Structure 1
Amino acid sequence: MVTGAPDDDQRQDDPAADSSRDGDDATAGSLHDRLSSARDDFEHRVDRARDQFDATNERIKKRTGRDLFAAIGVGVLAAAAVLASLLFVKWAFAILAVGIAALGVFELTRALQARGRRIDLVPQLIGAVIIVSAAFWFPTAVHWTAVFVTLAVIIVWRVLVQMSARDGRVYASIFSDIIVGCFIPLYVPFLASSALVLVRQDGGEMWIIAFLLVVVVADTAAYATGLSFGRHKMAPRISPGKTWEGFAGAAVVSNIAGIAAAIFLLGIPWWTGIIIALALLGSATMGDLGESMIKRDLGIKDMSSWLPGHGGVLDRLDSILPSAVVALALFHFLSPLGAA
């Protein structure tokens, strides 16, 4: 008698095997159903979260005219680039500053030209590069010389171009164009160059990080607080979105950031953080209102649309440019306290 595995007919007729196979099929079917249900539930939750995300973003865009989440993404990338250059390669920060200042000058010049101002782009861009570069790579005397030479070139350039144009413009208009043309290098590259003068100092990179931290935190807190609780307009004719509630929120949060920066970044007494915060809050607010006044006079909302959620380069530099000068002054007054 030969023994061995049952043949196919025997397996098919075996009730126990059929029962086991049915049980396996049922288990597999139940597992598949659970996985399908879990997947459907997950997809439903994702769709609902996306809808809520889009609805929130649309409400914010409707109220502020900004794409908040695009702005956050651009801000994170910009912050990473600035921090990396400051902490590892200072000359990379200088190159970045030169490029940003040139873009800011380009934006402002184009906006003024669109309003009929005769502004010459070439000397503006050359002057911006020279002023910002001189602040980092050359002595202070060269930096100041670059500023005055740039202003002189802008004036002479405009006069020569106007003489060859023969378009009948009156002297008052020509003089006005010259004044506005000289304002651009003083507003953008000269103020920006203060940050490069600061970064050249011993420990200057930490002061740059500290002042950017306070300004960005103040700007963000003003935006969030004003969006949530803003009722009383600060300067409705200049910047309708600014509120006193937003300013109060910025004051509280910037003081916290200033104290933290003084202790952990600058190594100076904690109370100096309050001085830093209040000074930078004032300069950032004035810078923001000042650029808003320029845009309102030009009849535009943003200087450009290069930065999603932010507008243009100058729309992000408005509070930073004057604050760079204040940060440089604070460095000279307060940094000796760190050695005390």
Structure 2
Amino acid sequence: MSELKKRVITAVFLIAVAVYWMFYTSEGVFNMLTVGLGLLAVVELLAMLSLGVGLLYVGTLAIPSLFWIWSADTIPVLFPLLTPFVLWLLIFLVTHRHNNTPEHFARFVYLQSMTLLLMLFCYTLIEVHHLPDGVLFLSGAFLGVWAADIAAYFTGKAMGKHKLCPSISPGKSVEGFMGGMFFGTITAAVFWLQMLAMPMLTALVLALLLVVISVAGDLGESALKRAVGVKDSGSMLPGHGGILDRIDALLPSIPFVAMLWMVLS
């Protein structure tokens, strides 16, 4: 099977799963699937960084996360975020007090920071999804990021001449970035204007921030992959690489813009 066919089949499957996950699951199922997505991404991250603490790390992350889901009314959201972070920081300092290397510590910092970002992304999805207009807001945000990614690819192919960040992602161009920013901003803003009756200025500002931050997330994951010497974050999604390759742009953009939307509304 050609690489293009793999990409198309996987993309259709992912769209179907995303629609079911966002619109047709109960609150409890949505929570479980969202945290499951985060944990799968952490497993992929551990394999990419070659740290060899997989089951223990995922276990100490999963237990407080599931505990929070079942007791969300009484357990602060920071509990499942900070528990594995603090625990593994202590474990690392104790176990590597005599044999630490700069590269190993750098990989540990990558793991901790990406894990926190993944969990923050998951908990933001859970919190916003339960709001009266949360599903529509998230749908507009996802569409905006995806539209920006697609438009950046085709604009870059057709017009790209100036490299955006050649040391991190040689394939991205300034022209592609501008095209993606335009189409992604318009897509998210129009969706929110039509579906949420959001004020035009608010919709445009939130959509612009969404797209710009999504590009930063994409470049950040590219920098991480370059630092550890891998092409893709994993191979869970045929033709698309790994889970992190598909959600890297969403990780910082969704939490930031969703929290700003909640403050403004």
TM class by shorter-chain length? 0.7 to 0.9
**How many residues align structurally?**
263
Change in 2 beyond 3 A, CA 1:231/1:111:
same
Q: 2:62 aligns with which of 129, 133, 152?
A: 129
**SS of residue in 2 equivalent to 1:306:** coil
Whether the 8 Å contact between 2:49 and 2:107 is mirrored in structure 1 is: no
What displacement does 1:172 show? Answer: 6.3
Aligned to 2:76: 142
TM-score by length of 1: 0.69
Provide the aligned C-alpha RMSD in A. 2.6
Deviates more, 1:186-195 or 1:317-326: 186-195
Aligned to 2:157: 227
What displacement does 1:110 show? Answer: 1.1
Q: 1:109 aligns with which of 30, 39, 46?
A: 46
Matches of 1:188 and 1:333, distance apart in 2: 22
The structure with higher relative contact order (CA 8 Å, sep 6+) is 2
Write the mapping of 1:149-160 to structure 2, written as runs, cut at 5 A. 149-159=83-93
Write the mapping of 1:69-108 to structure 2, written as runs, cut at 5 A. 69-89=5-25, 90-108=27-45
1:190-240 residue CA offsets vs partner (Å, 9 max, x unmatched): 333222222122221111111111111111111111122211110000001
Sequence identity of aligned pairs in percent? Answer: 28
Matches of 1:122 and 1:263, distance apart in 2: 45
Q: Greater CA radius of gyration, 1 or 2?
A: 1
Whether the 8 Å contact between 2:185 and 2:204 is mirrored in structure 1 is: yes
Write the mapping of 1:1-340 to structure 2, written as runs, cut at 5 A. 67-89=3-25, 90-113=27-50, 118=51, 120-130=53-63, 133=66, 137=70, 138-139=72-73, 141-159=75-93, 169-170=99-100, 178-334=108-264, 336=265
- In structure 1, runs of 5+ residues without a counterpart are 1-53, 58-66
Deviates more, 1:248-257 or 1:286-295: 248-257
Change in 2 beyond 3 A, CA 1:71/1:306:
same
- In structure 2, runs of 5+ residues without a counterpart are none
1:158-187 residue CA offsets vs partner (Å, 9 max, x unmatched): 456558xxxx62476775565444324213
**SS of residue in 2 equivalent to 1:242:** strand
